[in-house]
């Protein structure tokens, strides 16, 4: 039987999602707890692989097991067992071919920028001291919708078949006097893509780049034309969406 786990985690405490030697990953932390509770070795597959320090307000992972258990009870026990900053919101049965990563149709991220030092946002937002023009950043963000190929925002050493992404949303919102949040959604994201887009848009926002530079950068398909990559700590995975047909009716 295949199960989906809905969860969130504070990335500050982890060396990213993916298991790696001698490092504390979200995946390994959950696998260890699940294996202990189900008394068999469990492996989980996440909807994506967040980097060190990146957070998830919402993440999906799947696992397979033939052990029978109450999903509510397992969720409760998993939360009690996990002392780490991971919250398990729900566990439910899905169809056998449902895949946390490959079945996902849409992913959404937020990037939080603070414009004044905030002792409650040391590891949860990125501080920018320059004056930011949010209207300019939104005009630049709107230009992104004219493109499919986002190679210019991708880490150069990645091995992907295509650099094409379908963008659904790219918008800055002024959430409060000293907090700007960038919302972006697409069918898929390339490695480091959100952080490179945010860095580029911020360069527009502080006047280092013109709004129209976005067109030149995207046409170049060259990472070195785009802006800098902003720190991981401001980035949050917030949504992963699947087609209705992978869920099992109750």
Pick the closest to residue 19 from 53, 55, 43, 54 (CA basis): 43
Q: Which is nearer to a second copy, 21 or 119 (CB)?
A: 119
Nearest residue (CB) to a second copy, 178 versus 188: 178
The least distance separating a second copy from the CB of residue 95, rounded to whole angstroms, comes to: 28
Contacting residues toward a second copy, per CB under 8 A: 8-10, 55, 57, 79, 84-89, 116-120, 122, 124
Give the residue ranges of DSSP H helices in 55-144: 71-81, 134-143
CB of 148 to a second copy, least distance (A): 34
CA distances from 210 to 52, 137, 207, 215 (A): 31, 10, 7, 10
Closest separation in Å from C-beta 81 to a second copy? 12
| Cα separation, 176 vs 29, whole angstroms | 35
In whole angstroms, give the CA distance from residue 200 to residue 209. 8
Q: Which of 51, 97, 135, 249 is catalytic?
A: 51
Q: What is the largest CA-CA distance in the chain?
A: 59
Closest CB to a second copy among 80 and 174?
80
Q: How far is CA 200 from CA 73, 124, 144, 166, in A?
A: 46, 20, 11, 19
Helix axes 193-205, 213-220, angle to 10 degrees: 150
Local structure of residue 144 (DSSP, 8 states) = G
Shortest reach from residue 10's CB to a second copy, in Å: 4
- Our CB check for a second copy shows the closer of 19 and 84 to be 84
In the residue annotation, 159 being an active-site residue is answered as no
Catalytic residues: 51
């Amino acid at each position: 039987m295949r199960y989906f786990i809905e969860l969130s985690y504070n990335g500050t405490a982890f060396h990213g999602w993916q298991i790696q030697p001698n490092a504390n990953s979200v995946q390994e932390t959950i696998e260890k707890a699940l294996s202990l509770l189900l008394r068999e070795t469990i492996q989980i597959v996440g909807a994506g692989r967040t980097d060190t320090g990146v957070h998830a307000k919402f993440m999906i992972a799947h696992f397979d097991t033939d052990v029978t258990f109450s999903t509510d009870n397992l969720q409760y026990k998993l939360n009690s067992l996990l002392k780490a900053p991971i919250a398990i919101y729900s566990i439910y049965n899905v169809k056998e071919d449902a895949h946390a990563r490959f079945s996902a149709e849409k992913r959404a991220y937020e990037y939080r920028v603070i414009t004044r030092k905030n002792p409650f946002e040391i590891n949860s937002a990125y501080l920018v001291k320059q004056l930011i023009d949010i209207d300019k950043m939104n005009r630049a963000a709107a230009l992104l919708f004219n493109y499919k190929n986002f190679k210019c925002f991708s880490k150069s050493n990645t091995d992907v078949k295509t650099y094409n992404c379908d963008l659904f949303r790219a918008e800055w919102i002024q959430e409060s006097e000293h907090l700007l949040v960038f919302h972006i959604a697409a069918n898929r994201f390339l490695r480091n893509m959100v952080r490179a887009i945010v860095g580029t848009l911020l360069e527009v926002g502080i006047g280092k780049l013109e709004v129209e530079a976005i067109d030149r950068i995207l046409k170049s398909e060259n990472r070195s034309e785009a802006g800098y990559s902003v720190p991981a700590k401001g980035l949050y995975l917030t949504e992963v969406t699947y087609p209705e047909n992978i869920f099992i009716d109750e």
